[in-house]
Chains A and B, each alone.
Chain A
Protein backbone atom coordinates (compact mmCIF):
# COMPACT_ATOMS: atom_id res chain seq x y z
CA UNK A 1 0.00 0.00 0.00
CA UNK A 2 1.44 3.29 -1.00
CA UNK A 3 0.27 6.72 -0.08
CA UNK A 4 1.11 9.31 -2.58
CA UNK A 5 2.33 12.83 -2.18
CA UNK A 6 1.53 15.15 -5.07
CA UNK A 7 3.30 18.03 -3.31
CA UNK A 8 6.61 16.29 -3.95
CA UNK A 9 6.87 17.81 -7.40
CA UNK A 10 7.15 21.27 -5.87
CA UNK A 11 10.10 20.01 -3.84
CA UNK A 12 11.72 18.40 -6.83
CA UNK A 13 11.31 21.52 -8.94
CA UNK A 14 13.73 23.23 -6.56
CA UNK A 15 16.29 20.66 -7.59
CA UNK A 16 15.81 21.57 -11.21
CA UNK A 17 13.18 19.12 -12.51
CA UNK A 18 11.38 20.25 -15.66
CA UNK A 19 7.90 19.27 -16.77
CA UNK A 20 8.13 15.58 -15.83
CA UNK A 21 4.46 15.66 -14.84
CA UNK A 22 3.63 15.65 -18.51
CA UNK A 23 4.60 11.97 -18.69
CA UNK A 24 1.82 9.76 -20.07
CA UNK A 25 3.67 6.56 -19.31
CA UNK A 26 4.42 5.25 -22.78
CA UNK A 27 7.80 3.88 -21.67
CA UNK A 28 9.59 5.33 -24.66
CA UNK A 29 12.32 6.79 -22.45
CA UNK A 30 13.11 3.39 -20.99
CA UNK A 31 13.05 1.84 -24.43
CA UNK A 32 15.47 4.30 -26.02
CA UNK A 33 17.85 4.29 -23.05
CA UNK A 34 20.85 2.18 -23.89
CA UNK A 35 21.68 1.57 -20.22
CA UNK A 36 18.23 0.35 -19.30
CA UNK A 37 17.91 -3.44 -19.00
CA UNK A 38 15.19 -5.92 -18.21
CA UNK A 39 16.28 -6.05 -14.58
CA UNK A 40 17.05 -2.38 -14.34
CA UNK A 41 14.39 -0.43 -16.20
CA UNK A 42 14.52 3.34 -16.05
CA UNK A 43 13.92 6.28 -16.33
CA UNK A 44 10.11 5.88 -16.56
CA UNK A 45 9.97 4.11 -13.22
CA UNK A 46 11.68 7.08 -11.59
CA UNK A 47 9.39 9.51 -13.42
CA UNK A 48 6.36 7.64 -12.14
CA UNK A 49 7.66 7.47 -8.55
CA UNK A 50 8.36 11.21 -8.71
CA UNK A 51 4.91 12.02 -10.11
CA UNK A 52 3.34 10.10 -7.25
CA UNK A 53 5.85 11.48 -4.75
CA UNK A 54 6.76 8.05 -3.39
CA UNK A 55 9.84 9.36 -1.57
CA UNK A 56 10.76 6.16 0.24
CA UNK A 57 11.04 4.36 -3.05
CA UNK A 58 13.08 7.15 -4.55
CA UNK A 59 15.48 7.24 -1.62
CA UNK A 60 16.07 3.53 -1.71
CA UNK A 61 16.64 3.52 -5.45
CA UNK A 62 20.07 3.42 -7.04
CA UNK A 63 18.67 4.01 -10.50
CA UNK A 64 19.30 7.77 -10.63
CA UNK A 65 23.02 6.97 -10.31
CA UNK A 66 22.87 4.44 -13.10
CA UNK A 67 21.98 7.15 -15.61
CA UNK A 68 24.81 8.97 -17.33
CA UNK A 69 22.55 11.49 -19.01
CA UNK A 70 23.12 11.00 -22.71
CA UNK A 71 19.80 12.80 -23.21
CA UNK A 72 18.25 10.31 -25.65
CA UNK A 73 15.20 9.88 -23.41
CA UNK A 74 14.51 13.59 -23.40
CA UNK A 75 15.16 14.04 -27.12
CA UNK A 76 12.63 11.36 -27.99
CA UNK A 77 10.08 11.96 -25.24
CA UNK A 78 6.75 12.38 -27.02
CA UNK A 79 5.40 14.52 -24.19
CA UNK A 80 8.57 16.60 -23.82
CA UNK A 81 8.57 15.57 -20.19
CA UNK A 82 12.37 15.64 -19.88
CA UNK A 83 13.02 12.34 -18.14
CA UNK A 84 16.78 12.93 -18.43
CA UNK A 85 16.60 16.15 -16.51
CA UNK A 86 14.38 14.48 -13.94
CA UNK A 87 17.09 11.87 -13.34
CA UNK A 88 19.59 14.70 -12.93
CA UNK A 89 17.40 16.49 -10.42
CA UNK A 90 16.84 13.22 -8.57
CA UNK A 91 20.61 12.91 -8.24
CA UNK A 92 20.69 16.38 -6.72
CA UNK A 93 17.78 15.49 -4.49
CA UNK A 94 19.50 12.30 -3.34
CA UNK A 95 22.81 14.10 -2.80
CA UNK A 96 20.99 16.53 -0.57
CA UNK A 97 19.29 13.71 1.17
CA UNK A 98 22.43 11.67 1.85
CA UNK A 99 24.21 14.75 3.21
CA UNK A 100 23.83 14.78 6.98
CA UNK A 101 24.78 18.43 7.23
CA UNK A 102 21.91 19.46 5.02
CA UNK A 103 24.15 22.00 3.32
CA UNK A 104 24.00 20.30 -0.07
CA UNK A 105 20.26 20.70 -0.23
CA UNK A 106 20.40 24.31 0.86
CA UNK A 107 22.96 25.16 -1.78
CA UNK A 108 21.13 23.31 -4.56
CA UNK A 109 17.97 25.13 -3.73
CA UNK A 110 19.45 28.57 -3.19
CA UNK A 111 21.91 30.24 -5.52
CA UNK A 112 22.23 33.13 -3.08
CA UNK A 113 23.41 30.81 -0.37
CA UNK A 114 25.97 29.29 -2.70
CA UNK A 115 27.28 32.71 -3.61
CA UNK A 116 27.47 33.69 0.02
CA UNK A 117 29.51 30.56 0.69
CA UNK A 118 31.86 31.39 -2.16
CA UNK A 119 32.27 34.95 -1.00
CA UNK A 120 32.83 33.86 2.59
CA UNK A 121 35.57 31.42 1.63
CA UNK A 122 37.15 34.08 -0.53
CA UNK A 123 37.09 36.44 2.42
CA UNK A 124 38.65 33.77 4.62
CA UNK A 125 41.49 33.28 2.17
CA UNK A 126 42.12 36.99 2.01
CA UNK A 127 42.00 37.15 5.79
CA UNK A 128 44.51 34.35 5.97
CA UNK A 129 46.76 36.09 3.43
CA UNK A 130 46.59 39.27 5.46
CA UNK A 131 47.35 37.35 8.65
CA UNK A 132 50.54 35.93 7.13
CA UNK A 133 51.40 39.27 5.59
CA UNK A 134 51.10 37.99 2.03
CA UNK A 135 54.23 35.97 2.53
CA UNK A 136 54.43 33.62 -0.42
CA UNK A 137 56.35 30.89 1.34
CA UNK A 138 53.83 30.71 4.14
CA UNK A 139 50.96 30.76 1.80
CA UNK A 140 52.45 27.97 -0.31
CA UNK A 141 53.11 25.93 2.77
CA UNK A 142 49.64 26.49 4.10
CA UNK A 143 48.17 25.65 0.71
CA UNK A 144 49.92 22.31 0.70
CA UNK A 145 48.95 21.62 4.28
CA UNK A 146 45.40 22.63 3.60
CA UNK A 147 45.05 20.15 0.78
CA UNK A 148 46.00 17.22 2.94
CA UNK A 149 43.98 18.31 5.95
CA UNK A 150 40.94 19.17 3.88
CA UNK A 151 40.95 15.81 2.12
CA UNK A 152 41.17 14.02 5.43
CA UNK A 153 38.62 16.13 7.27
CA UNK A 154 36.07 16.37 4.51
CA UNK A 155 36.53 12.70 3.75
CA UNK A 156 36.02 11.54 7.33
CA UNK A 157 33.47 14.01 8.59
CA UNK A 158 31.31 14.52 5.55
CA UNK A 159 31.87 12.13 2.69
CA UNK A 160 32.24 8.95 4.65
CA UNK A 161 29.18 9.52 6.85
CA UNK A 162 27.23 10.44 3.73
CA UNK A 163 28.26 7.24 1.96
CA UNK A 164 27.18 5.41 5.08
CA UNK A 165 23.83 7.15 4.92
CA UNK A 166 23.51 6.19 1.27
CA UNK A 167 24.24 2.61 2.26
CA UNK A 168 21.62 2.83 4.99
CA UNK A 169 18.90 4.11 2.68
CA UNK A 170 19.60 1.81 -0.22
CA UNK A 171 20.71 -1.42 1.44
CA UNK A 172 19.90 -1.51 5.09
CA UNK A 173 16.53 0.18 5.24
CA UNK A 174 14.98 -1.83 2.37
CA UNK A 175 16.24 -4.90 4.29
CA UNK A 176 18.46 -6.26 1.55
CA UNK A 177 20.38 -9.24 2.89
CA UNK A 178 24.05 -9.07 1.91
CA UNK A 179 26.73 -11.41 3.25
CA UNK A 180 30.06 -10.05 4.32
CA UNK A 181 31.79 -12.12 1.65
CA UNK A 182 29.72 -10.40 -0.95
CA UNK A 183 30.86 -7.01 0.29
CA UNK A 184 34.42 -8.16 -0.12
CA UNK A 185 33.99 -9.87 -3.45
CA UNK A 186 32.18 -7.00 -5.06
CA UNK A 187 34.53 -4.26 -3.94
CA UNK A 188 36.29 -4.36 -7.31
CA UNK A 189 33.17 -2.93 -8.87
CA UNK A 190 33.61 0.22 -6.80
CA UNK A 191 37.10 0.97 -8.07
CA UNK A 192 36.49 0.00 -11.64
CA UNK A 193 33.61 2.43 -11.84
CA UNK A 194 35.35 5.11 -9.85
CA UNK A 195 38.32 5.20 -12.14
CA UNK A 196 36.84 4.26 -15.49
CA UNK A 197 33.16 5.16 -15.45
CA UNK A 198 32.91 2.01 -17.50
CA UNK A 199 29.13 2.09 -17.51
CA UNK A 200 28.99 5.37 -19.40
CA UNK A 201 30.51 3.51 -22.36
CA UNK A 202 27.11 1.88 -22.76
CA UNK A 203 25.63 5.24 -23.64
CA UNK A 204 25.51 5.26 -27.35
CA UNK A 205 25.36 9.00 -27.80
CA UNK A 206 29.11 9.30 -28.23
CA UNK A 207 32.13 7.48 -27.08
CA UNK A 208 34.11 10.72 -27.20
CA UNK A 209 32.18 12.09 -24.25
CA UNK A 210 33.12 9.05 -22.21
CA UNK A 211 36.73 9.39 -23.27
CA UNK A 212 36.85 13.05 -22.29
CA UNK A 213 35.30 12.19 -18.98
CA UNK A 214 37.72 9.35 -18.43
CA UNK A 215 40.74 11.49 -19.20
CA UNK A 216 39.39 14.19 -16.94
CA UNK A 217 38.94 11.83 -14.01
CA UNK A 218 42.38 10.36 -14.47
CA UNK A 219 43.82 13.84 -14.91
CA UNK A 220 42.04 15.20 -11.86
CA UNK A 221 42.98 12.31 -9.60
CA UNK A 222 46.58 12.37 -10.80
CA UNK A 223 46.77 16.11 -10.32
CA UNK A 224 45.43 15.64 -6.81
CA UNK A 225 48.04 12.98 -6.19
CA UNK A 226 50.80 15.09 -7.74
CA UNK A 227 50.03 18.16 -5.69
CA UNK A 228 49.12 16.56 -2.38
CA UNK A 229 51.47 13.59 -2.16
CA UNK A 230 54.25 14.61 -4.51
CA UNK A 231 54.05 18.29 -3.49
CA UNK A 232 54.17 19.54 -7.05
CA UNK A 233 54.60 23.18 -6.17
CA UNK A 234 57.44 22.34 -3.81
CA UNK A 235 59.23 19.59 -5.67
CA UNK A 236 62.30 19.84 -7.81
CA UNK A 237 61.89 16.42 -9.42
CA UNK A 238 61.62 17.03 -13.15
CA UNK A 239 59.38 14.02 -13.56
CA UNK A 240 56.88 15.31 -11.04
CA UNK A 241 56.99 18.79 -12.50
CA UNK A 242 56.27 17.58 -16.01
CA UNK A 243 53.60 15.20 -14.75
CA UNK A 244 51.90 18.08 -12.96
CA UNK A 245 52.00 20.21 -16.07
CA UNK A 246 50.42 17.46 -18.15
CA UNK A 247 47.75 16.67 -15.63
CA UNK A 248 46.73 20.26 -14.99
CA UNK A 249 46.73 20.94 -18.71
CA UNK A 250 44.47 17.96 -19.29
CA UNK A 251 42.08 19.23 -16.65
CA UNK A 252 41.70 22.72 -18.02
CA UNK A 253 41.74 21.78 -21.70
CA UNK A 254 39.06 19.13 -21.33
CA UNK A 255 36.95 21.36 -19.13
CA UNK A 256 37.05 24.11 -21.74
CA UNK A 257 35.11 21.79 -24.00
CA UNK A 258 32.65 21.03 -21.21
CA UNK A 259 32.16 24.70 -20.42
CA UNK A 260 31.57 25.47 -24.08
CA UNK A 261 28.88 22.79 -24.13
CA UNK A 262 27.16 24.22 -21.06
CA UNK A 263 27.19 27.68 -22.58
CA UNK A 264 25.77 26.63 -25.94
CA UNK A 265 23.18 24.38 -24.27
CA UNK A 266 22.55 22.64 -27.55
CA UNK A 267 22.79 19.06 -26.48
CA UNK A 268 20.00 17.59 -24.38
CA UNK A 269 22.34 17.05 -21.44
CA UNK A 270 23.17 20.73 -21.17
CA UNK A 271 19.80 22.28 -22.02
CA UNK A 272 18.79 22.65 -18.41
CA UNK A 273 22.10 23.31 -16.63
CA UNK A 274 21.80 24.34 -13.01
CA UNK A 275 24.27 26.69 -11.26
CA UNK A 276 25.80 23.70 -9.48
CA UNK A 277 26.69 22.12 -12.82
CA UNK A 278 28.30 25.32 -13.99
CA UNK A 279 30.24 25.86 -10.78
CA UNK A 280 31.59 22.36 -11.06
CA UNK A 281 33.08 22.65 -14.51
CA UNK A 282 34.18 26.26 -14.15
CA UNK A 283 36.00 25.61 -10.88
CA UNK A 284 37.56 22.49 -12.30
CA UNK A 285 38.79 24.55 -15.22
CA UNK A 286 40.09 27.28 -12.94
CA UNK A 287 41.82 24.71 -10.74
CA UNK A 288 43.65 23.17 -13.67
CA UNK A 289 44.54 26.52 -15.20
CA UNK A 290 45.66 28.27 -12.03
CA UNK A 291 47.67 25.27 -10.88
CA UNK A 292 49.37 25.19 -14.25
CA UNK A 293 50.07 28.92 -14.09
CA UNK A 294 51.33 28.78 -10.53
CA UNK A 295 53.86 26.10 -11.32
CA UNK A 296 54.77 27.94 -14.53
CA UNK A 297 55.31 31.14 -12.60
CA UNK A 298 57.40 29.20 -10.08
CA UNK A 299 59.51 27.79 -12.89
CA UNK A 300 59.82 31.22 -14.49
CA UNK A 301 60.53 32.56 -11.02
CA UNK A 302 57.96 35.32 -11.27
CA UNK A 303 55.47 34.05 -8.70
CA UNK A 304 56.96 36.29 -6.04
CA UNK A 305 55.97 39.34 -8.05
CA UNK A 306 52.60 37.86 -8.90
CA UNK A 307 51.34 36.71 -5.52
CA UNK A 308 47.80 37.50 -6.42
CA UNK A 309 47.90 34.51 -8.81
CA UNK A 310 48.58 32.17 -5.95
CA UNK A 311 45.90 33.80 -3.81
CA UNK A 312 43.50 33.28 -6.63
CA UNK A 313 44.58 29.66 -6.97
CA UNK A 314 44.24 29.14 -3.26
CA UNK A 315 40.76 30.66 -3.28
CA UNK A 316 39.68 28.33 -6.04
CA UNK A 317 41.23 25.43 -4.20
CA UNK A 318 39.56 26.26 -0.91
CA UNK A 319 36.20 26.81 -2.51
CA UNK A 320 36.54 23.56 -4.39
CA UNK A 321 37.53 21.63 -1.31
CA UNK A 322 35.07 23.18 1.12
CA UNK A 323 32.04 23.77 -1.08
CA UNK A 324 32.03 21.82 -4.30
CA UNK A 325 33.60 18.61 -3.07
CA UNK A 326 31.50 18.02 0.02
CA UNK A 327 28.26 19.73 -0.99
CA UNK A 328 28.37 20.16 -4.74
CA UNK A 329 28.41 18.08 -7.83
CA UNK A 330 31.74 16.46 -7.05
CA UNK A 331 30.00 13.98 -4.78
CA UNK A 332 28.26 12.47 -7.79
CA UNK A 333 31.60 10.97 -8.69
CA UNK A 334 31.65 9.19 -5.39
CA UNK A 335 27.98 8.25 -5.17
CA UNK A 336 27.90 6.87 -8.68
CA UNK A 337 30.78 4.54 -7.94
CA UNK A 338 29.21 3.41 -4.71
CA UNK A 339 25.87 3.02 -6.44
CA UNK A 340 27.49 0.54 -8.83
CA UNK A 341 28.98 -1.27 -5.88
CA UNK A 342 25.67 -1.36 -4.02
CA UNK A 343 23.84 -2.41 -7.14
CA UNK A 344 26.18 -5.33 -7.44
CA UNK A 345 25.41 -6.19 -3.81
CA UNK A 346 21.71 -6.03 -4.47
CA UNK A 347 21.89 -8.10 -7.64
CA UNK A 348 20.67 -11.73 -7.58
Chain B
Protein backbone atom coordinates (compact mmCIF):
# COMPACT_ATOMS: atom_id res chain seq x y z
CA UNK B 1 0.00 0.00 0.00
CA UNK B 2 2.87 2.34 0.73
CA UNK B 3 3.98 1.91 -2.83
CA UNK B 4 0.59 2.86 -4.07
CA UNK B 5 0.40 5.92 -1.92
CA UNK B 6 3.24 7.43 -3.83
CA UNK B 7 1.47 7.00 -7.10
CA UNK B 8 -2.00 7.99 -6.13
CA UNK B 9 -3.85 9.70 -3.36
CA UNK B 10 -6.73 8.10 -1.53
CA UNK B 11 -9.91 9.76 -2.59
CA UNK B 12 -13.41 9.07 -1.37
CA UNK B 13 -16.09 9.87 -3.91
CA UNK B 14 -19.67 10.40 -2.93
CA UNK B 15 -21.70 9.62 -6.00
CA UNK B 16 -25.44 9.49 -6.55
CA UNK B 17 -27.30 6.39 -7.57
CA UNK B 18 -29.14 7.74 -10.56
CA UNK B 19 -26.98 10.54 -11.89
CA UNK B 20 -23.27 10.46 -11.22
CA UNK B 21 -22.90 6.75 -10.56
CA UNK B 22 -23.89 5.87 -14.14
CA UNK B 23 -21.23 8.31 -15.34
CA UNK B 24 -18.59 6.63 -13.18
CA UNK B 25 -19.75 3.23 -14.44
CA UNK B 26 -19.48 4.46 -17.98
CA UNK B 27 -15.95 5.69 -17.34
CA UNK B 28 -15.16 2.05 -16.56
CA UNK B 29 -16.99 0.83 -19.62
CA UNK B 30 -15.00 3.19 -21.82
CA UNK B 31 -11.80 2.15 -20.00
CA UNK B 32 -11.03 5.74 -19.07
CA UNK B 33 -8.50 5.05 -16.41
CA UNK B 34 -8.15 6.91 -13.15
CA UNK B 35 -6.23 6.09 -9.95
CA UNK B 36 -7.43 2.84 -8.34
CA UNK B 37 -7.37 4.46 -4.92
CA UNK B 38 -10.48 6.39 -5.81
CA UNK B 39 -13.36 4.73 -3.97
CA UNK B 40 -17.01 5.41 -4.44
CA UNK B 41 -19.86 5.38 -1.97
CA UNK B 42 -23.16 5.74 -3.69
CA UNK B 43 -26.05 7.58 -2.06
CA UNK B 44 -29.43 8.75 -3.42
CA UNK B 45 -28.65 12.45 -3.68
CA UNK B 46 -25.58 14.60 -3.14
CA UNK B 47 -27.51 16.98 -0.94
CA UNK B 48 -27.87 14.22 1.63
CA UNK B 49 -24.20 14.01 2.56
CA UNK B 50 -23.50 14.79 6.17
CA UNK B 51 -20.41 16.94 6.88
CA UNK B 52 -19.60 14.54 9.69
CA UNK B 53 -19.02 11.74 7.17
CA UNK B 54 -16.52 13.83 5.27
CA UNK B 55 -14.62 14.76 8.39
CA UNK B 56 -14.65 11.11 9.42
CA UNK B 57 -13.06 10.16 6.13
CA UNK B 58 -10.11 12.53 6.71
CA UNK B 59 -9.79 11.28 10.22
CA UNK B 60 -9.55 7.71 8.97
CA UNK B 61 -6.89 8.55 6.44
CA UNK B 62 -8.49 9.65 3.18
CA UNK B 63 -6.46 12.30 1.44
CA UNK B 64 -9.37 13.86 -0.30
CA UNK B 65 -13.14 13.73 -0.66
CA UNK B 66 -14.83 14.37 -3.95
CA UNK B 67 -18.53 15.02 -4.26
CA UNK B 68 -19.86 13.97 -7.64
CA UNK B 69 -22.94 16.13 -7.35
CA UNK B 70 -26.19 15.77 -9.22
CA UNK B 71 -26.21 19.38 -10.26
CA UNK B 72 -29.27 20.51 -12.11
CA UNK B 73 -30.04 16.94 -13.25
CA UNK B 74 -31.07 15.89 -9.74
CA UNK B 75 -34.25 13.86 -9.83
CA UNK B 76 -35.34 15.23 -6.46
CA UNK B 77 -35.60 18.82 -7.53
CA UNK B 78 -33.63 21.91 -8.38
CA UNK B 79 -32.84 22.78 -4.79
CA UNK B 80 -30.20 20.05 -4.80
CA UNK B 81 -27.47 22.28 -6.22
CA UNK B 82 -27.96 24.92 -3.61
CA UNK B 83 -28.23 22.45 -0.75
CA UNK B 84 -25.13 20.56 -1.81
CA UNK B 85 -23.32 23.90 -2.03
CA UNK B 86 -24.47 24.75 1.47
CA UNK B 87 -23.25 21.53 2.97
CA UNK B 88 -19.92 21.90 1.23
CA UNK B 89 -19.36 25.39 2.63
CA UNK B 90 -20.47 24.19 6.02
CA UNK B 91 -17.91 21.39 5.79
CA UNK B 92 -15.22 23.79 4.61
CA UNK B 93 -15.75 25.83 7.74
CA UNK B 94 -15.54 22.75 9.89
CA UNK B 95 -12.35 21.73 8.09
CA UNK B 96 -10.77 25.09 8.71
CA UNK B 97 -11.59 24.72 12.36
CA UNK B 98 -9.81 21.40 12.39
CA UNK B 99 -6.89 22.74 10.37
CA UNK B 100 -7.61 20.61 7.34
CA UNK B 101 -6.81 22.15 3.98
CA UNK B 102 -10.27 22.99 2.57
CA UNK B 103 -8.94 22.19 -0.88
CA UNK B 104 -9.02 18.53 0.13
CA UNK B 105 -12.77 18.66 -0.43
CA UNK B 106 -13.87 19.16 -3.97
CA UNK B 107 -17.21 19.15 -5.63
CA UNK B 108 -18.28 19.07 -9.26
CA UNK B 109 -21.55 18.40 -10.96
CA UNK B 110 -21.29 15.09 -12.82
CA UNK B 111 -24.19 14.34 -15.13
CA UNK B 112 -25.14 10.80 -16.03
CA UNK B 113 -22.89 10.77 -19.11
CA UNK B 114 -20.10 13.03 -17.79
CA UNK B 115 -17.59 10.17 -17.66
CA UNK B 116 -14.76 12.10 -19.18
CA UNK B 117 -15.33 15.04 -16.95
CA UNK B 118 -15.36 12.75 -13.90
CA UNK B 119 -12.08 11.18 -14.85
CA UNK B 120 -10.53 14.56 -15.55
CA UNK B 121 -11.71 15.84 -12.20
CA UNK B 122 -10.40 12.95 -10.12
CA UNK B 123 -7.12 12.86 -11.99
CA UNK B 124 -6.61 16.56 -11.39
CA UNK B 125 -7.64 16.18 -7.77
CA UNK B 126 -5.23 13.28 -7.36
CA UNK B 127 -2.37 15.34 -8.78
CA UNK B 128 -3.18 18.20 -6.49
CA UNK B 129 -3.33 15.95 -3.45
CA UNK B 130 -0.06 14.21 -4.32
CA UNK B 131 1.65 17.56 -4.75
CA UNK B 132 0.43 19.02 -1.51
CA UNK B 133 0.38 15.98 0.72
CA UNK B 134 3.26 13.82 -0.33
CA UNK B 135 5.68 16.42 -1.59
Direct A–B touching, Cβ under 8 Å? no
Q: Name A residues whose Cβ lies closer than 8 Å to a Cβ of B.
A: none
